[in-house]
Structure 1
Amino acid sequence: MEQGALANGLFLIAYDEAAGRSGLAPDLLACGLVGAQLADLVTAGALTIDPDHRVVATRSAPAGAAAGEAATLVMDSVAHEPRAHPVRSWIDALGGLLLEVVQNDLVQRGVLRQASERTLLGRRRTKLAVADSAAVHAPGIALRGMVRHPGTFTLQGAVTLVVIAALGVEQVLEPEVDRATARRLAQDAADHLPEAIARLRAGLAETAAAVSVAVRR
């Protein structure tokens, strides 16, 4: 997964091809997409997470760090907000919007396509079908390969695994990767990543836990 593709990659890793939608609850998926996009911008040097766990724009963001609609949405939102806010606030504010942006981007890129089908009751429903099988499966194959061979981890792969573990959804890597292995490697990765990623991870885990409780209710 290259720089700038963490949100798209996470969406595809969690994508359930048979169902034509994500295997995660919408609120939890939105939480992960915002976390992944924030992580992408943090590793690019455009954003950071301060000691109070608030998201702030850096003074000298590298050129091109916010390439793409999803990155621009998050970057502009943070940069134009007069006060700094914690990770959870940005997830609440941008989750639904970012989910729509990522889905649209994958359709426009020809990775997924909009399709409709009839339910058992004869109603039509829209789903996301596979348009490019290799592209759909590439992020998951790459990450599972890194987990099986930890010496091949890239920065983006390590950050993606940390985000998945923070969400508590390691099952998206099954059956090839068991949850305990994913959690252990995610912890190892977090210990070697910048402090800003560790702070992001904490905010993401807190929000995901709250979302999971709401889903169970």
Structure 2
Amino acid sequence: MEQGALADGMFLIAYDEATGRPGLSPDLLACGLVGAQLADLVTGGWLTIDTGGRVVAVRSASTERVTGEAATLVLDSVAHEARTHPVRAWVDALGGPLTEAVHNDLVRRAVLVQTTSRSVLGRRRSRLDVVDTTAAHAPALALRAMVRSPGTFTLHGAVTLVLLAALGVEQLLEPEVDRATARALAQDAAAHLPEPIDRLRRDLAETALATSAAIRR
């Protein structure tokens, strides 16, 4: 089963086509991508978040292998760790490698392409440019459409909105969707999500808050 749709979607929603890079700080983007990939694996039955807020591999799901660099990285890391750890520990451990894995996946799929150029001073600059416009814009367009018509929300869309709200970055959906509307819908959606996803949401919000505070210092 191909995994990674939530993490890829999170990256593309955060991606700023004008600058050719994500519109979030690297630490906050990494927090969102780890949260999205954990959510993807939780909804797929490979992981869960226990009542203590620790990420746990679900052994009964091990007979069906996941595919994709990002999903394999996260699942193997959790499954082969002798002790269980909270969400924040996995954000710290996997944020950088997972960001690279998602980046690689989008380039491999020819959704984005890495380009380099030189400034007038000879400095090398790199950026991501869109190759497949439809695929690159699809996650944000789909989520905005669901926010405008809440009755059309899928589980995938609800989880994505809840994670964006946990990160405190609902403004990524502006100007088509105002932040207050997105936040209110996310609060409503959170009440209907499976308990492990809600635990993930709470832990991710705490992690993102700590990350943002560290950035401001």
TM-score over 0.5 (shorter chain): yes
> Which residue number in structure 2 is paired with residue 71 of structure 1?
71
Counterpart CA distance in 2 for 1:190 and 1:84 is 25
> Which residue number in structure 1 is paired with residue 13 of structure 2?
13
> Which residue number in structure 1 is paired with residue 181 of structure 2?
181
Contact 1:27 1:211 in 2 (8 A): yes
> Which residue number in structure 2 is paired with residue 58 of structure 1?
58
> Which residue number in structure 1 is paired with residue 100 of structure 2?
100
The residue type equivalent to 1:207 in the other structure is T
SS, match of residue 196 in structure 1: helix
TM-score, normalised with respect to structure 1: 0.96
SS, match of residue 55 in structure 1: strand
Shift of 1:62: 6.4
Shift of 1:43: 0.5
SS, match of residue 192 in structure 1: coil
Q: 1:119 to 1:216 in 2, by over 3 A?
A: farther
Query: What are the residue-to-residue correspondences of 1:47-196 with 2, within 5 Å?
Result: 47-61=47-61, 64=64, 66-119=66-119, 121-196=121-196
Q: 1:78 to 1:39 in 2, by over 3 A?
A: same
SS, match of residue 40 in structure 1: helix
Counterpart CA distance in 2 for 1:79 and 1:152 is 35
Counterpart CA distance in 2 for 1:106 and 1:119 is 26
The residue type equivalent to 2:164 in the other structure is I
| Aligned Cα root-mean-square deviation (Å) | 1.4
Contact 1:41 1:65 in 2 (8 A): no
SS, match of residue 60 in structure 1: helix
Counterpart CA distance in 1 for 2:9 and 2:63 is 22
Counterpart CA distance in 2 for 1:133 and 1:120 is 29
Shift of 1:67: 2.1
**Count of aligned pairs between the two proteins:** 216
After the TM superposition, which of the residue ranges 140-149 and 121-130 deviates more from structure 2? 121-130
Counterpart CA distance in 2 for 1:112 and 1:131 is 5
Counterpart CA distance in 1 for 2:103 and 2:185 is 29
Contact 2:3 2:67 in 1 (8 A): no
Shift of 1:93: 0.2
SS, match of residue 212 in structure 1: helix
Structure 2 residue runs of 5 or longer lacking an equivalent are: none
Shift of 1:159: 0.3
Residue deviations 1:11-54, cap 9 Å, x none? Answer: 00000001000000000000000000000001111100000000
Counterpart CA distance in 2 for 1:13 and 1:63 is 32
The residue type equivalent to 1:136 in the other structure is A
SS, match of residue 61 in structure 2: coil
After the TM superposition, which of the residue ranges 34-43 and 55-64 deviates more from structure 2? 55-64
Counterpart CA distance in 1 for 2:140 and 2:120 is 31
Q: Which runs of 4+ in 1 moved over 6 A?
A: none
Residue deviations 1:126-152, cap 9 Å, x none? Answer: 111111111110000000000000000
Shift of 1:63: 5.2
Structure 1 residue runs of 5 or longer lacking an equivalent are: none
Shift of 1:214: 1.3
